[in-house]
């Protein structure tokens, strides 16, 4: 019976993520974002902790994930709206994605934010062993995790949260 309940719970979580539902976790005592380096497609390395002073969204995605592809224009729009106000986005492709596909996707869609490959899976592991895509993590100016979204976020609510964090 316990196994059946566990499987039902996992199926519900997966269904929520795949249908665009959102799972949020925001604690009153926010945890610090991990001190991990993200390797961009051009080979440069960016430390997440170096983004202190900016509101940052780290989005884990894959070219094979239809929800990820569908949410990408909204991520671009969000970045364009807030980039001049101290907002940054990192789109981190999962370790199982093909670098050529990721590079082609970023180029053909002219993604204006940082795009990275997590070839070793270390970045996903550092952010709580991310396995489902899309998963987005919103980080405040002090480098603390504010919210985790599994599945595409409600972008109106995300924009409100970004504006509050930018004003703080």
Summarize pLDDT for 71-109 with one digit per residue, the tens: 999 999 999 999 999 999 999 999 999 999 999 999 999
Q: Per-residue confidence at 27, pLDDT binned at 50, 70, 90?
A: very low
Q: In 3D, which of 157, 114, 151, 137 has the Cα closest to residue 55?
A: 137
| Token pair of 41 as six digits | 């497609």
Q: What percent of the chain has pLDDT over 70?
A: 83
- Please check the confidence at residue 119 and state whether its pLDDT lies above 50: yes
pLDDT (0 to 100) of residue 29: 55
| Token pair of 135 as six digits | 């998963």
Exposure b/e, 10-35, CB count within 10 A at least 16 = b: eeeeeeebeeeebeeeeeeeeeebbe
What span, in angstroms and rounded, lies between the C-alpha atoms of 39 and 123?
A: 9
Helices (H) and strands (E) in the chain, counts: 5, 7
Looking at domain 2-167, its CATH architecture is 3-Layer(aba) Sandwich (3.40)
Q: Cβ–Cβ contacts within 10 Å for residue 2, how many?
A: 6
What span, in angstroms and rounded, lies between the C-alpha atoms of 8 and 10?
A: 5
Position with higher pLDDT, 30 vs 69: 69
Extended beta strands in the chain, E state: 37-39, 45-47, 55-61, 87-93, 114-117, 135-139, 145-150
């Amino acid at each position: 019976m316990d196994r059946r309940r566990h499987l039902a719970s996992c199926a519900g979580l997966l269904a929520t993520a795949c249908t665009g539902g959102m799972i949020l976790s925001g604690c009153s005592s926010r945890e610090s974002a991990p001190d991990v380096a993200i390797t961009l497609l051009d080979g440069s390395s960016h430390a997440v902790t170096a983004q202190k002073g900016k509101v940052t969204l780290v989005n884990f995605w894959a070219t094979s994930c239809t929800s990820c592809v569908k949410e990408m224009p909204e991520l671009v729009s969000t970045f364009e709206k807030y980039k001049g106000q101290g907002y940054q986005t990192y789109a981190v492709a999962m370790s199982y994605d093909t670098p050529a596909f990721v590079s082609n996707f970023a180029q053909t869609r002219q993604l204006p934010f940082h795009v990275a490959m997590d070839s070793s899976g270390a970045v996903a592991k550092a952010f709580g062993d991310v396995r489902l895509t899309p998963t987005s993590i919103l980080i405040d100016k002090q480098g603390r995790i504010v919210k985790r979204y599994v599945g595409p976020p409600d972008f109106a609510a995300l924009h409100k949260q970004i504006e509050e964090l930018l004003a703080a």
